[in-house]
Amino acid sequence: MNIHTVATTPFADQKPGTSGLRKKVAVFQTPHYLENFVQAVFDCVAAPPGSTLVLGGDGRYYNREAIQVILRMAAANGIGRVLVGQGGILSTPAASCVIRKYQCLGGIILSASHNPGGPAGDFGIKYNTGNGGPAPEKITDAIYARSRELGSYRIVAAPDVPIDRPGTHALGAMQVEVIDPVADYAELMEALFDFAAIREMLAGGFRLCFDAMHAVTGPYAHEILERRLGAPAGSVINGVPLADFGGGHPDPNLTYAGQLVAIMYGTATATPAPDFGAASDGDGDRNMILGRNFFVTPSDSLAVIAANATLAPGYAQGIAGIARSMPTSAAADRVAEKLGVPCYETPTGWKFFGNLMDAGKVTLCGEESFGTGSSHVREKDGLWAVLFWLNILARRRMPVEEILHRHWAEYGRNVYSRHDYEGLPLDIANGIMAQVRERCGDLSGRRFGDYTVKFCDDFSYTDPIDGSLSTGQGLRIVFDDGSRIVFRLSGTGTEGATLRLYLEAYEADPARQQVDAQLSLAALIAIADEISQLRQRSGRERPTVIT
């Protein structure tokens, strides 16, 4: 075999963010850029000879080229076998599923998730470990350190491996196995949920619309929702993965999934809206859940799933515990309390849930950013959440909206919203954070209208399993009644800075639970602006995206 050692100079900017390394496509196309990072991964992982790796991505622009480079580098770095999704496709949760099922060493996932794709868009890469989950910080830190010092990478000279049909190919001493990207995942879903009950509900006229946003979930949704569950053809929209996501922004929220929102709010056609709507993101790990004329916040979705978990066969024995990211609302905490199970609060990013799941401390995990999942894999899982909801609906037989109203009546409502200010100049965003940080010290005990500040801090987390400490995870202002304002800078963007403002208030009175969230939160929104001078400093009158 023809192994080349290619000299390279390190890059200074290959620090993985909230979820892997994300950069503009053009940056990844810089000579040696991708190779440099991949070699850093191989150096840190130190794979025992003959190990098996999983490789796939969300199908975005540059996916196919990157797959070929990584295959050639894997062969040169002593990997024994690589399982590649056909066409280079594997959703993030499906990759996690395959790593676990075949007990692989780990996997490389090519995705920039919800970030736009295409030649002018973003590309991304991350490493997942043998538990199927994103590498923890100690590994990503090591990869970053290695990327800044390595002087060469190893690659074999060989023609492209054909990846468009299932089959096995040799690449030097390494075997490349092209696998069906959907089969293992669909089988796992069938084992967790009551497909018969969902099928019966759909046969009875229940209508659903799933928007794959021209991203990776198209083939998964066609197979599972239409073929296996019998939803009529056309229930899945935008189901063909495209390298540029059809020019869209594959982020399943009320702004970017506008087509689905129009359908679910009945403004798209004269026919009544479907009973249930959902969307997923670029790499298939996020989900948005909608009822007819109704939006379920991701924080509430986690709480409802937890409260109804035993309706799904895979969770009939109950859940061990719940974990949520710090900015996620405390709705799930209330359910955990009632169930008598622990609820953990972690920093943002799925990598912080892995240890808790591996240790059997939690079954369900969630983030306010449209991420929900469980210990069935080690990633958040969009279609899993959709199937969980369908399972609950098939058993409870009432509209989505009514499920939420009853949930709030029982537990109280954690009124919640996130305001994103995207593409701010870095110095402005840093200035706003500095302003809040500076005021943090003397906020305790201060009154703002009806609210009194209990404490203000910069969230840090000590992992209860391995003791590792993560600091600087978001500035939170917590009030006496549990209401909160959180400021955080995004770690997934590639342009300027995105500032996220998270707002949460608790409403126990059922008579006031149905007030619009932005109205309920108006006082907190004003306090956030007063403390941060956000509007004045950013020159923005309103957020880019409100969730």
| Footprint of Co ion (CB under 5 A) | 113, 281, 283, 285-286
Say which entry of ligand VG1, Co ion, none residue 223 contacts (CB below 5 to 8 A, set by partner kind).
none
Binding mask 107-136 for ligand VG1 (x = CB under 6 A): ------xx----------------------
Binding mask 499-518 for ligand VG1 (x = CB under 6 A): -x------------------
Per DSSP, the residues of 78-89 read: T--EEEEEEEEE
468 is an active site residue = no
Instruction: Indicate the residue among 78 and 373 with the shorter CB distance to Co ion.
Output: 373
Burial pattern 404-420, b for ≥16 Cβ within 10 A else e, equals bbebbeebbbbbbbbbb
H or E element that contains 355: helix 354-358
Say if CB 287 and CB 386 are below 8 A apart.
yes
Give the one residue of 14, 19, 77, 538 binding ligand VG1; rule: CB under 6 A: 19
Distance of closest approach, residue 545 Cβ to ligand VG1, in angstroms? 12
Q: Distances from the Cα of 145 to the Cαs of 100, 110, 126, 150, in angstroms?
A: 28, 21, 15, 9
Say which entry of Co ion, ligand VG1, none residue 513 contacts (CB below 5 to 8 A, set by partner kind).
none
Residue 286 makes contact with ligand VG1 by CB under 6 A? yes
Instruction: Indicate the residue among 113 and 235 with the shorter CB distance to ligand VG1.
Output: 113
What is the identity of the amino acid at 417?
A: S
Instruction: Indicate the residue among 214 and 286 with the shorter CB distance to ligand VG1.
Output: 286
Say which entry of ligand VG1, Co ion, none residue 371 contacts (CB below 5 to 8 A, set by partner kind).
ligand VG1
Distance of closest approach, residue 317 Cβ to ligand VG1, in angstroms? 28
Distance of closest approach, residue 168 Cβ to Co ion, in angstroms? 30
Distance of closest approach, residue 292 Cβ to Co ion, in angstroms? 26
Collapsed DSSP state (helix, strand, coil) of residue 399: coil
Distance of closest approach, residue 400 Cβ to ligand VG1, in angstroms? 23
Three-state secondary structure string covering 153-183: EEEECCCCCCCCCCEEEEECCEEEEEECCCH
Distance of closest approach, residue 382 Cβ to Co ion, in angstroms? 8
Q: If you count them, how many residues does the chain have?
A: 547
Stretch that binds ligand VG1, among 138-146, 334-342, 448-456, 490-498 (CB under 6 A): 490-498
Instruction: Indicate the residue among 194 and 367 with the shorter CB distance to ligand VG1.
Output: 367
For residue 506, the number of C-alpha atoms closer than 13 Å in the C-beta half-sphere is 17
Instruction: Indicate the residue among 231 and 365 with the shorter CB distance to ligand VG1.
Output: 365
Say which entry of Co ion, ligand VG1, none residue 369 contacts (CB below 5 to 8 A, set by partner kind).
ligand VG1
Instruction: Indicate the residue among 250 and 321 with the shorter CB distance to ligand VG1.
Output: 250
Residue 18 makes contact with ligand VG1 by CB under 6 A? yes
Q: Distances from the Cα of 304 to the Cαs of 78, 265, 315, in angstroms?
A: 46, 22, 14
Residues numbered 359-378 forming contacts with ligand VG1, rule: CB under 6 A: 367, 369, 371
Question: CA 418, CA 255: separation in Å to the nearest integer?
Answer: 13
Say which entry of Co ion, ligand VG1, none residue 194 contacts (CB below 5 to 8 A, set by partner kind).
none
Collapsed DSSP state (helix, strand, coil) of residue 521: coil
Burial pattern 61-97, b for ≥16 Cβ within 10 A else e, equals bbbbebbbebbbbbbbbbbbbbbbbbbbbbbbbbbbb
Q: Using CB atoms, what's the residue nearest to Co ion?
A: 113
Collapsed DSSP state (helix, strand, coil) of residue 438: helix
Q: Which member of 51, 91, 111, 113 is catalytic?
A: 113
H or E element that contains 507: strand 497-507
Question: CA 272, CA 252: separation in Å to the nearest integer?
Answer: 22
Question: CA 23, CA 144: separation in Å to the nearest integer?
Answer: 14
Distance of closest approach, residue 447 Cβ to Co ion, in angstroms? 40
Instruction: Indicate the residue among 381 and 507 with the shorter CB distance to ligand VG1.
Output: 381
CA 499 to chain CA mean position, Å: 18
User: Which residues would be at the binding site for ligand VG1 (CB under 6 A)?
Assistant: 18-19, 113-114, 281, 285-286, 325, 348-350, 367, 369, 371, 490-492, 500
Positions marked catalytic: 113
